[in-house]
Amino acid sequence: MAPPLSRRTLLQTAVLAAAAPGISYGMSGGRAVAATVPAPSAWAVRPFELKDVTLGQGLFATKRQLMLDHGRGYDVDRLLQVFRANAGLSTKGAVAPGGWEGLDGEANGNLRGHYTGHFLTMLSQAYASTKDVAFKDKIGYMVGALSQVRTALRGDPRMLAVTGKFGTAQENPRGSYQYVDLPATVLGGASAITLSAWVKPTHNANWTRIFDFGNNTTKYMYLAARNASGFPRFAVTTNGPGGEQGLDGTAALPLNQWSHLAVTISGSTGTLYVNGAAVAQNTSMSLNPAALGTLANNWLGRSNFQTDPVFAGAFDEFNVWSRALTAAEITALQSGRASATSAGRGNLASYDFFETSGGTFADASGRGLTATLRRTWGGPSHAGFLAAYPETQFIELESMNSGDYTRVWAPYYTAHKILRGLLDAYLHTDDARALDLATGMCDWMYSRLSKLPDATLQRMWGIFSSGEFGGLVEAIVDLYAISGKAEHLALAKLFDLDKLIDACAANTDTLDGLHANQHIPIFTGLVRLYDVTGEARYLTAAKNFWGMVVPQRMYGIGGTSTAEFWKARGVISGTISDTNAETCCAYNLLKLSRTLFFHEQDAKYMDYYERTLLNQVLGSKQDKADAEKPLVTYFIGLKPGHVRDYTPKQGTTCCEGTGMESATKYQDSVYFTKADGSALYVNLYSPATLNWSAKGVTVTQTTDYPREQGSTITVGGGSAAFELRLRVPSWATGGFQVTVNGSAVSGTPAAGSYFTIPSRTWRSGDVVKVTIPFRLRVEKALDEPSLQTLFYGPVNLVGRNSSTSYLSFGLYRNAGLSGDLLPSLTPVSGKPLHYTLDGTEFAPFHEGSEDPTHAYVRRSEPKVVFGGTDSGVANPAKSDGTTLLDEIWAGAPFSSKSALVTRVQSTVESWVTVGLLAQADGQKVVTTAQNASYAG
């Protein structure tokens, strides 16, 4: 038997055998569109493009408008700040958003750049949906800026000339990792010395160096802009920090202002001057430059201690003299260039920074010691590299064994967001520059990862947080479908996490303890890999994984995870906290559900889609305008009395990023078409118009769903033949009806399926009315049936109450024959979908308020009550918690009162027989049921 093929061989085979991209799946007329991801032949149904579905007025449009206004008004130079700084380009005075997007956020901003990708996707979807050129213009501006960034990163650093103290100056933007490298002989072995510099710091980080001359962290001489107390410090040592002989200032240098610093050493006396005044003197110094010898590292702006930050700010006129200037000479330097004072230029080195371009600085001392601008991390390994931080995060990940987000925080996750944003910019605006940037990123990733051993890749992708790569595989496969480059397909397979894939393919649940959002998007990528490789384990793993989460780890609103992680299968009540349902998880589960539906038209996927979109996703967006923040939750706590936080971590988390995306693509799954165009799927009931140009018709839904219990679908334009497949929600257990032009359509709709109107030639003006009666029902926590959440049709209702303990309610008291529990609640006048029960208002989860909420309540039915009439009998329960009333109402809906009474009689008899209910009490229960009045 031949030995099994290694992953390396399989990847080489993929590179050689990769197929060319397929035809366009854009359903806007069958035309081939360059900026369209080609359709996988495996998809039995296909989506329409966002531009082909117009969202009408209603709940979704209202939420979307808030995000459109935010995107239209936000200054994108703020997002580009970290990219430009990393490349040493002008940041145009912009201030990064903060939080996770900037150098001052969590883990030193190690995730910076991710938010820019999200924003590009949001803008792209907004443009596709509205055709508002304001969004397209912003996209073009951002893509152009990122193109400049990539060019700058690939080349040597270039001077950023700014207005200096006396002319031009060299600025190091914060986050640029740039420094000036001076020749080794700059100190000239002098025993007496003066070093003088004008500096304009722009950040208050401690231990940033104005200059640092040394070999390592043992032998060096430096001037720091700020010591641990925030004051300037000069030090020289040949024995590390413990042997430093120093001079410390007495006040901090002001930010964004020019300050002059000078240090003199003569004999045993060292003096530190700030703005011409001596602020510190040490008369017991035994060290000077001569004691250090010739040093290897002679830097302006960089420290010999690798963990110290790079100086952020500008340099003007740096001089070195082989003597100690007098106090008067130092004072004279305040009023003009050294060359115009009695001190003259430094005779060891003199840099005026007169240059306005290039990456070198001339020495005017006469010694010809040209200085060079460099980056601390060198340069990117491949021309396609694009990021808002150095490539060092990617490099360091390759040797890590465990996660540490303060060192490396998911660099490939961030790469995914940028890549996705660029792809979306290309797909929705046809900007070829965006495709070029996206292609370059994948070429760069392949150049790195294809050289790593399989074991290294498996270790990397299994590391929590640091190894997270989000939906990168999906994006790479989408690019491959456009580019047809075999290396791109091979790259996508390099992210296979075999341990996870194999377990899920075998339907072995290993999710307990895993980080939820690190793993959910992996499976959407696997489905896309199946699409282009036909490798069955990918699709099987994804389907099985979905079933491990839905409903096993799903809360009523559709979300999953607690404090970002999964617990054991079936544990719901035991995980409820203030940190449930990370919003990114909902976003990614919707993507996965949608993608699986393309392969298997099981209504459960679209049932989940409606549940999560209409509840968690809508509810994660606050109903409030804000120019600075998207106002989207990170976690949606389900603990009693939880108040949603719409501005976590300064508003730039992963969830606010995906939240921006969600709010600009609400229409993406309303309609699908069968691959051959013979059927139209109506998955969601939403006011949305489809321009199905391939058929020459429009399909418009007019509805205020979910405030309306149904939808009216009107065909417009020309005529076309197709089936109409209408989703019957799993909760719609009775009364689902369909008419065409006023006539009922025959057939029996089954909850949790699609009801088909057979193929016919539809003509302009044809009207389909869909009636979907709602009823109030409960869903029980899998591990604690008495803990329940309320649904009215598709709408999750939450109690608004400041109590931090579970509220206790009974719901059977006025239940209708249909099993509808709504009659036990009282409608609130003028507020659709609002009800009160025992003094607590229940409102739709999708309302983005800051009211304290109760998503779950305790079910308590102490007495047997029918139609508001109390039988006086205690409601008995079985050992598993099932009560007499539970068992009676489990038989709903009832066709008539007599059918209900018959159910009551048979249930009572069985309970009396096994000793759970006394005969006399049983008769009281039956009599009460017979005498009570019921709603329908």
Q: Who's near 854: CB < 8 A, 6+ residues apart?
A: 640, 641, 798, 799, 800, 801, 803, 806, 807, 840
Three-class SS of residue 936?
coil
14 — pLDDT class (breaks 50, 70, 90): very low
Contact (CB, 8 A) for 200 and 298? no
Q: Which two tokens stand for residue 279?
A: 């602020």
Residue 31 has pLDDT above 90, yes or no: no
Residue 780 has pLDDT above 80, yes or no: yes
Which amino acid is present at 775? R
CATH of domain 177-375: 2.60.120.200
Query: How many Å apart are CA 369 and CA 350, to the nearest integer?
Result: 9
Residue 737 has pLDDT above 70, yes or no: yes
Residue 27 has pLDDT above 70, yes or no: no
Smallest CA-to-CA distance from 712 within 722, 700, 721 is with 700
Query: How many Å apart are CA 313 and CA 173, to the nearest integer?
Result: 6
Q: What pLDDT score does 24 carry?
A: 30
Write out the DSSP string of 412-456: HHHHHHHHHHHHHHHHHH--HHHHHHHHHHHHHHHHHHTTS-HHH
**DSSP state at residue 856:** S
pTM over 0.85: yes
Query: How many Å apart are CA 189 and CA 289, to the nearest integer?
Result: 6
Helix (H) or strand (E) holding 51: none
2 — pLDDT class (breaks 50, 70, 90): very low
Half-sphere exposure of 396 (CA within 13 A, CB side): 18
Q: Which two tokens stand for residue 275?
A: 């703005």
Three-class SS of residue 756?
strand
Smallest CA-to-CA distance from 398 within 306, 494, 540 is with 494
651 — pLDDT class (breaks 50, 70, 90): confident
913 — pLDDT class (breaks 50, 70, 90): very high
Contact (CB, 8 A) for 800 and 840? yes
Burial class, 773, CB count within 10 angstroms (exposed 0-12 / middle 13-18 / buried 19+): middle
Contact (CB, 8 A) for 642 and 627? no
Choosing among 3.40.1350, 2.60.420, 1.10.510, 2.170.270, the CATH entry for 671-771 is 2.60.420
- Which segments within 111-250 are labelled E, that is strand? 161-163, 168-172, 178-181, 193-201, 209-214, 220-224, 233-237, 245-248
Query: How many Å apart are CA 840 and CA 837, to the nearest integer?
Result: 5
Write out pLDDT tens, residues 322-380. Answer: 999 999 999 999 999 999 999 999 999 999 999 999 999 999 999 999 999 999 999 99
Residue 22 has pLDDT above 70, yes or no: no
Write out pLDDT tens, residues 202-211. Answer: 999 999 999 9
Provide the terminal-to-terminal Cα distance of the chain, rounded to the nearest Å.
Answer: 70
Residue 124 φ/ψ, nearest 5 degrees: -65, -45
Write out pLDDT tens, residues 479-530. Answer: 999 999 999 999 999 999 999 999 999 999 999 999 999 999 999 999 999 9
Average confidence score pLDDT of the chain: 94
Q: Which two tokens stand for residue 726?
A: 């209408």
Three-class SS of residue 378?
coil
Q: What pLDDT score does 650 carry?
A: 83
Helix (H) and strand (E) counts in the chain: 23, 39
Q: Who's near 127: CB < 8 A, 6+ residues apart?
A: 133, 135, 136, 139, 428, 429
Write out pLDDT tens, residues 306-318. Answer: 999 999 999 999 9
Query: How many Å apart are CA 815 and CA 793, to the nearest integer?
Result: 15
Query: How many Å apart are CA 866 and CA 864, to the nearest integer?
Result: 7
Contact (CB, 8 A) for 78 and 95? yes
Helix (H) or strand (E) holding 95: none
Smallest CA-to-CA distance from 580 within 349, 821, 845, 391 is with 845
Q: Please give the average per-residue pLDDT across 145-168, as a whole number.
A: 96
Q: Mark residue 801 as left, alpha or beta (left: phi above 0; alpha: psi -120 to 50; beta: remaining).
A: beta
Write out the DSSP string of 615-676: IIIHHTB-SS--SS---B-S----STTB---SSGGGG-SHHHHHHHHHTT-TTTTSEEEETT
Helix axes of 77-86 and 114-130: crossing angle, nearest 10 degrees: 140
Q: Please give the average per-residue pLDDT across 22-37, as a whole number.
A: 42
The percent of residues above 90 in pLDDT, for the chain, comes to 94
Q: What pLDDT score does 36 carry?
A: 77
In this structure, how many other beta carbons lie within 10 angstroms of the beta carbon of residue 580?
A: 24
Helix axes of 472-483 and 411-429: crossing angle, nearest 10 degrees: 40
- Which segments within 684-775 are labelled E, that is strand? 688-692, 697-702, 710-717, 719-728, 737-740, 743-744, 753-763, 767-771
Give the position of tokens 């009215």: 792
Q: What pLDDT score does 936 carry?
A: 86
Query: How many Å apart are CA 564 and CA 520, to the nearest integer?
Result: 12
Give the position of tokens 């100056």: 169
Q: Who's near 748: CB < 8 A, 6+ residues apart?
A: none
Residue 714 has pLDDT above 60, yes or no: yes
Q: Please give the average per-residue pLDDT across 146-151, as a whole number.
A: 98
CA dihedral 714, 717, 719, 721 (to 10 degrees): -60
Residues of the chain with CATH 2.60.420: 671-771
35 — pLDDT class (breaks 50, 70, 90): low
Residues of the chain with CATH 2.60.120.200: 177-375
Cis peptide before 630 (omega within 30 of 0): no
Residue 21 has pLDDT above 90, yes or no: no
Q: Please give the average per-residue pLDDT across 536-555, as a whole number.
A: 98
Contact (CB, 8 A) for 762 and 697? yes
Give the position of tokens 């009922």: 744
Q: What pLDDT score does 105 carry?
A: 82
Write out pLDDT tens, residues 215-261. Answer: 999 999 999 999 999 999 999 999 999 999 999 999 999 999 999 99
Burial class, 249, CB count within 10 angstroms (exposed 0-12 / middle 13-18 / buried 19+): buried
